[in-house]
A and B are shown apart, each in its own frame.
Chain A
Amino acid sequence: MIQMPTTRPPLKKISDVCWEISPNYKKGKPEMLVPARIFATEKLLNQMDMAVFEQISNVACLPGIQKAAMCMPDAHWGYGFPIGGVAAFDPETGIISPGGIGYDINCGMRLIRTDLTVEDVKPKLKPLVDYLFKTVPAGVGAHGFVKLTLPQHKEVMTDGAQWCIRNGYGWSEDKDRIEGFGRIEGADPSKVSQKAVSRGAPELGTLGSGNHYLEVQLIAAKNIFDKQIAKKFGLFENQIVVMVHCGSRGFGHQICTDYVNVFREKMAGWGIKVRDEELACAPFRSKEAQDYFAAMNCAANYGFANRQLILHRIREGFSHIFGQDAEKLGMHLIYDVAHNIAKIEEHKIDGEKKEVVMHRKGATRCFGPARKELPKLYRETGQPVIVGGSMETGSYLCVGTDEADDLTFGSTMHGSGRTMSRAQAKREGSGIDLQKKMEKEGIYVRSVSMAGLAEEAGRAYKPINEVVDTMDIAGVSKKVVAFKPIGNVKG
């Protein structure tokens, strides 16, 4: 049984925002094959769960790991990998691990711009949020508005957001503004269990609960850090934007559950030893690993489709409240990023380009302008990186840099990271009190669950500014704009 660690391993300071655990920290079987690197300011480092250091060192023991196991500044204790964990594995000698991706496969963020200013929206904020609360299904057991037949569901699994766009739930330009163009290759519905299909079919186009949300946000003048890039993205002072945070719902959760079970049973036969049961993994070239990868890609596509349907509802909602077409309101998608996913990517390792099985769990891809995977639209600026904060403190838009490739396999933070348990957050204040307090601060919230709302109070999270600054100082992702919430819908 794993015990809660009480001390931190020795850390070598690489820079003001990067710390290293030597491979000598864990000897014996299995031993650390590479160092572990933690990106954090000294303050964030001191606030991190002790378990993060153990977990990232355990990841450094997995077969075929390349260069270093890495932790982003928003890291906290997860299952197997810490949340905020980044690791690359050799496809021939390495593994794939569902614990390095998460139960919510392709949980991610989506950012939508508008031509509206705060003056336009403030008078209609309550009806707008109430309307979105009514039309975007949220909370436990919520069902989506698109009823899928089995052949349609299979098309969603293989075509992702592109299925939605083809079927009238989006604009053709949307696909250029989604990671992987909203459709990941290599998805095979035959590798998905009937249980996952049954859980996923009713839930497409729903937000879920926990820390998932839909937020109406404002750009204050002092929060534009790179005016040139903000302008290129169509962002300006006093503008209203919309942010969405959700994933692949029960569909992805079931795929993770199914394959953790398969890998746990087979690992001994493959001769793989792990330091934590939730690090269950399979040699990447094995049939079982390939089956999981094909099913995981189905969930990744489902995640993109889920957020695309929610975007459709948001455009409808704004159009209804403001009496104009979404096109006229300038409701272009800025970008959609996945922050729980594994992908085959090319990175420079020891000076040579190499294909790796990239794992990001609570970490965002942040490719710089040089990466060919980016659409033309972002080949000058770098990839937009959407970082969701708590519903009280605000969120960020950053861009990836070319330096990130070498520093973090082109990866950065995904949010602000929890520091307080859900029970403690509830004890420190009720949902109704929080709703009233937020309304006084100018944030109108609608939630399916008041207890769930209390759990998401801003004080339960790390300070997002310091998290984002860490990766800006590291040269991995540069700040463009910060957003302040004014309206929130949550499950």
Chain B
Amino acid sequence: MVKEKFKVLEKLVTADVAYETYGKDLNELFSNSALALCSAMVEPKTVAVKVPIKWKMQNKDLNTLLVDFLNELVYYKDAESLFLPKVKVKVVEKDGLYRLAAEALGDKIDFHKHKLLADVKAATFHMFAMQKKGKAWIARFVLDI
């Protein structure tokens, strides 16, 4: 059975889109959250994974790190015209500081090739939640459309 990576929370918001995302560890939670965000903007299966992008970021607060990470993907969508459905993430905590390294693969936005959906303005802290359940992680976030 394929494990669910994320689901849309339909009843949480009206004008925007809310997701619940899952991961067997923190790294997978971030990767699956990136895929959820991408799926709000485009059908991910229509996006090739060929353009590589790497970045690093850090924060003392894990919640803020996830929201910042998602907003980084929103930034690449506008500034570099890139959809990035596949992101390999490594999050390491040391002395209360979370450091993130991301290696993403995606594609330049193409109106003919991609099945486009909604433009995401931002990932928000509205109704945000992130929790560890045993070894696995679960997050909830709302995207402003």
Residues of A bordering B, CB below 8 Å: 1-2, 4, 49, 76-80, 83, 103-104, 139-143, 195, 198-199, 202-203, 208-211, 249-250, 253-254, 256-257, 260-261, 264, 276-278, 418-424, 448-449, 451-452, 455, 491
Q: What residue in chain A is nearest B10 (Cβ atoms)?
A: A423
Q: Can you list the 4 inter-chain pairs with the closest CB atoms, starting with the nearest?
A: A141-B109, A250-B78, A198-B79, A199-B78
Segment of B26-34, B93-101, B112-120 in the binding face: B112-120
Q: List 30 A-B contacts (CB under 8 A).
A: A1-B127, A2-B127, A77-B13, A78-B15, A79-B124, A103-B124, A139-B116, A140-B118, A141-B119, A143-B81, A195-B79, A203-B78, A210-B145, A211-B15, A250-B78, A250-B121, A256-B122, A264-B64, A264-B125, A276-B126, A278-B124, A278-B125, A421-B10, A421-B13, A421-B14, A422-B14, A423-B10, A448-B111, A452-B117, A455-B118
- In the complex, are the beta carbons of B8 and A423 less than 8 A apart? yes
- In the complex, are the beta carbons of A198 and B75 less than 8 A apart? yes
Please indicate the chain A residues that have their CB under 8 angstroms from the CB of B128 in the complex.
277
- In the complex, are the beta carbons of B42 and A140 less than 8 A apart? yes
Asked whether B11 is an interface residue with its Cβ less than 8 Å from the other chain, the reply is: yes
Please indicate the chain B residues that have their CB under 8 angstroms from the CB of A1 in the complex.
127, 129
- In the complex, are the beta carbons of A260 and B125 less than 8 A apart? yes
- In the complex, are the beta carbons of A83 and B42 less than 8 A apart? no
Instruction: Kindly provide the distance from the CB of A165 to the nearest chain B CB, expressed in whole angstroms.
Output: 26
Please indicate the chain B residues that have their CB under 8 angstroms from the CB of A422 in the complex.
14-17, 118, 145
Residues of B bordering A, CB below 8 Å: 8, 10-17, 41-42, 64, 68, 71, 74-75, 77-79, 81, 109, 111, 115-119, 121-122, 124-129, 142, 144-145
Rounded to whole angstroms, the CA-CA distance of A491 and B122 in the bound complex is 17
Please indicate the chain A residues that have their CB under 8 angstroms from the CB of B118 in the complex.
140, 209-210, 422, 449, 451-452, 455
Rounded to whole angstroms, the CA-CA distance of A143 and B118 in the bound complex is 16
Interface centre among B71, B128, B129 (most CB of A within 10 A): B71
- In the complex, are the beta carbons of A250 and B117 less than 8 A apart? no
